[in-house]
Chains A and B, each alone.
Chain A
Amino acid sequence: GAGVSQSPSNKVTEKGKDVELRCDPISGHTALYWYRQRLGQGLEFLIYFQGNSAPDKSGLPSDRFSAERTGESVSTLTIQRTQQEDSAVYLCASSLVQGQGWQPQHFGDGTRLSIL
């Protein structure tokens, strides 16, 4: 089957605009993660979904960032009033439920967000 799909692949927008980033996880994967990767840096955890609920939102940098997931499938990460420091690659990963032993995270190719 298909892997994790993210869209758009690249997004350029003006400072102050809102953006929505989409993640389609692997079918049947109930766990979904969002990460941010700034230029030359490692990945930073943003949020974790189990099903449609988000028990860990501790990595969201500010209240301009929000995420939702519907139907235990697609997730969207929304950034409101974008700032230049939001420029980064946003990566999504999904996995089977962790409670049945370790499960690998499968990553998408990310969305490169550039704020002008």
Chain B
Amino acid sequence: AQTVTQSQPEMSVQEAETVTLSCTYDTSESNYYLFWYKQPPSRQMILVIRQEAYKQQNATENRFSVNFQKAAKSFSLKISDSQLGDTAMYFCAFSRAGGYQKVTFGTGTKLQVIP
């Protein structure tokens, strides 16, 4: 079974600053995907970024980037130039590659961007 751990229940950052959200995971799978999802108050889950485990290069999406450390089973999210619209719950998640996506989620980090 897979586990995903987010040890920061809440974080805050000043607008325009950079913040890093932490995530660790455990799995015996050799190939898998890691994700960061954003959940605003509307409840809809929005995919922020995806990392394929067999790729060494860290994924980036505009202001969002990850630091993927496969040996350490660590997957952190860096948000640069934080904006008020980034205020949300952020969930780290895992799914095995191949077949259907049974996604395992962490417990989330509540991020508040302060003007």
Contact = CB atoms under 8 A, between A and B. Distances in A.
A binds B: yes
Interface string B66-108: 0000000000000000000000000101000101111111111
Contact of A105 (B4, B97, B99, B101): B101
Contacts, number: 61
B47 interface: yes
13 contacts: A40-B108, A41-B108, A42-B4, A42-B93, A42-B108, A95-B101, A102-B52, A105-B45, A105-B103, A107-B45, A108-B44, A109-B43, A110-B43
A45 interface: yes
Contact of A48 (B42, B47, B93, B102): B102
Given A42-B107, A102-B33, A102-B101, 6 more contacts: A41-B107, A42-B106, A98-B100, A102-B52, A110-B43, A110-B44
A104 B52 CA distance: 13
Counting contact residues on chain A (CB < 8 A from B), the size range is 20 to 34
Contact of B44 (A42, A99, A104, A109): A109
Interface of A: 31, 33, 35, 40-45, 48, 50, 55-56, 89, 91, 93, 95, 98-99, 102-105, 107-110, 112
Contact of A56 (B44, B50, B100, B106): B100
A7 to B, nearest CB: 14
A11 B30 CA distance: 41
B112 to A, nearest CB: 15
B99 A104 contact: no
B43 A102 contact: no
4 residue pairs, one from A and one from B, having the closest CB atoms: A42-B105, A107-B45, A43-B105, A110-B43
A57 B4 CA distance: 21
Contacts of B47: 104-105
B99 A98 contact: yes
Interface string B4-30: 100000000000000000000000000
B106 A89 contact: no
A98 B98 CA distance: 7
A51 to B, nearest CB: 12
